C-alpha cells in the first residue's frame, strides 16, 4: 500500500473578491481535461488565517501530468455504487458521486491498492465553501492490496483555513482560498488492526480558475509498525507560463480592447513575435493564431478569462490575461 491514495486526497471559483467554491463553477464535468504539472521544490503551507501570503516563489515546473474526467462504465458503477463521474490521472482512478451539495468519494484504484467506500462515502468537498468553512465526515469501506485485504474506517476533516495571496514561481494570484483536508483511516483485517493512513492535503483555489492552482499531499501509511511517507505537489501548467499576467509592465506589447468581444489588437514591437496562443483558465490551449495582421479573433470564444501568449522563434514569450465578454 506504499503509494496508496495521494490522488484521492488532492482536493478537486465565481468572480467575487471573496473566493467561494461552488457546485456551479467547480464541480467537474464529464469530458474535461486539466493540464497539470508536477512541481519541483517544497511547497510552503505554513501561512494561515485571512489575508495570508503563501510564498512559493522558488517552485519550478516539472513533468506534465494531465487529469481527465469521464463517465463511469456500468461495471464501475456496480463496483462503486452511486458513482457519477471518474477522474483519471497519474496512473490512478478516483470515483465520485455528485449531489446537489457535495462531491463524495466512492472509490479509489491505484497500481498498489483499491479502496471501496461502499459502506460510507467520504466527503471530498461540500458546497459552497468559503473562508471559515469546516466539517468532519466519517467514511468506511473495504481495501484490497497485494499484501492483503480488509476494512478501513475513519474521518475526513475539511477546513477553509486560510485565504489571501499566492506567490508561485513568477506569478501572483489574489483572492486565493485554501482548503485543508486531513484523512485519518484505520485498517483492519478480520477485525484486527493492521495499520493506518493519515493524509494531509492543501489545495489553493482562486476565483478565475475552476481547478486548483496548487495542490500538495502528504500521506503517512503505517502497516504492522512500519511507516512510509509519500509527498506530492501539482499545479496548473498555466502557473508556469513564461511570464505573469502583469507582463505589460515590461511595455513590450499591449493588447486592447480588454475586455474584448470580437477581436484583440496587439500593439508594440512585433518583429520578434509570430504567433499567439490562447489558453483557458485551467491552462488548456484553446486556439493558435498568426500575428501577420496584429489582430486575433476571439468572437468564437465563450465569455470567460483567458491568457494570450505571444511568442516567436527568437524571443521569450509574453502572456497577458484578458476577459472575453
**pLDDT tens by residue, 125-165:** 999 999 999 999 999 999 998 778 999 999 999 999 999 99
Structure confidence by residue, pLDDT tens digits, 31-42 = 888 989 999 999
Domain ranges of the chain: 23-240, 247-324
Residues forming beta bridges with residue 84, ordered by sequence position: none
8 A C-beta contact, residue 22 and residue 13: yes
DSSP string across 191-247? TEEEEEEEEEEEEEE-SS-SS-SEEEEEEEEEETTEEEEEEEEEEEGGGGSSS-TBG
8 A C-beta contact, residue 176 and residue 205: yes
> Would strands 263-268 and 275-279 be described as parallel, antiparallel, or unpaired?
unpaired
**CA angle, corner 319, sides to 315 and 325, nearest 5?**
145
Number of Cβ within 10 Å of residue 147's Cβ equals 14
pTM, whole model, 2 decimals? Answer: 0.72
Specify the pLDDT at position 281.
64
Give the confidence band of 242 by pLDDT, cuts at 50, 70, 90.
low
Question: Does the 247-324 domain belong in CATH 2.60.40.1930?
Answer: yes
Identify the CA nearest to 277 among candidates 262, 291, 287: 287
| Strand ranges for 46-147 from DSSP E | 49-56, 60-70, 85-89, 92-98, 102-109, 113-120, 122-126, 134-145
Give the confidence band of 46 by pLDDT, cuts at 50, 70, 90.
very high
Dihedral sign for Cα 69, 54, 244, 169, please: negative
Identify the CA nearest to 245 among candidates 279, 199, 293: 279
Numbers of helices and strands, H then E, in the chain: 2, 21
Residue whose grid cell is 499566492: 166
SS3 72: coil
Structure confidence by residue, pLDDT tens digits, 105-132 = 999 998 778 999 999 999 999 999 999 9
d(CA 200, CA 124): 13
Tell me the mean pLDDT in the region 169-181.
Answer: 94
**Lowest mean pLDDT, pick from 52-66, 155-169, 265-279:** 265-279
Amino acid at each position: 500500500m506504499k503509494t496508496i491514495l495521494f490522488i484521492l486526497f488532492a482536493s478537486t471559483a465565481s468572480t467575487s473578491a471573496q473566493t467561494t467554491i461552488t457546485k456551479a463553477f467547480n464541480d467537474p464535468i464529464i469530458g474535461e481535461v486539466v493540464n497539470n504539472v508536477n512541481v519541483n521544490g517544497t511547497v510552503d503551507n505554513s501561512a494561515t488565517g485571512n489575508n495570508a501570503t503563501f510564498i512559493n516563489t522558488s517552485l519550478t515546473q516539472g513533468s506534465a501530468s494531465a487529469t481527465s474526467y469521464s463517465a463511469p462504465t456500468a461495471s464501475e458503477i456496480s463496483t462503486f455504487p452511486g458513482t457519477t463521474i471518474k477522474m483519471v490521472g497519474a496512473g490512478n482512478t478516483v470515483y465520485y458521486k455528485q449531489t446537489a451539495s457535495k462531491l463524495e468519494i466512492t472509490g479509489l484504484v491505484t497500481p498498489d491498492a483499491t479502496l471501496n467506500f461502499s459502506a460510507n462515502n467520504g466527503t471530498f468537498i461540500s458546497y459552497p465553501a468559503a473562508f471559515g468553512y469546516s466539517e468532519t465526515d466519517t467514511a468506511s469501506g473495504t481495501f484490497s492490496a497485494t499484501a492483503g485485504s480488509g476494512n478501513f474506517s475513519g474521518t475526513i476533516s475539511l477546513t477553509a483555513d486560510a485565504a489571501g495571496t499566492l506567490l508561485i514561481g513568477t506569478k501572483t494570484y489574489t483572492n486565493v482560498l485554501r482548503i485543508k483536508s486531513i484523512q485519518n483511516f484505520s485498517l483492519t483485517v478480520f477485525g484486527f488492526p493492521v495499520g493506518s493512513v493519515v493524509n494531509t492535503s492543501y489545495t489553493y483555489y482562486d476565483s478565475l480558475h475552476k481547478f486548483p492552482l496548487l495542490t500538495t499531499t502528504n500521506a503517512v501509511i503505517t502497516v504492522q509498525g512500519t511507516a512510509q511517507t509519500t509527498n506530492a505537489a501539482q499545479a496548473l501548467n498555466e502557473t508556469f507560463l513564461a511570464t505573469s499576467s502583469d507582463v505589460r509592465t515590461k511595455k513590450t506589447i499591449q493588447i486592447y480592447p480588454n475586455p474584448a468581444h470580437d477581436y484583440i489588437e496587439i500593439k508594440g514591437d512585433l518583429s520578434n513575435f509570430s504567433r499567439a496562443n490562447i489558453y483557458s483558465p485551467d491552462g488548456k490551449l484553446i486556439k493558435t493564431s498568426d500575428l501577420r495582421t496584429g489582430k486575433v479573433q476571439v468572437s468564437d470564444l465563450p465569455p470567460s478569462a483567458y491568457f494570450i501568449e505571444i511568442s516567436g522563434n527568437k524571443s521569450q514569450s509574453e502572456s497577458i490575461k484578458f476577459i472575453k465578454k
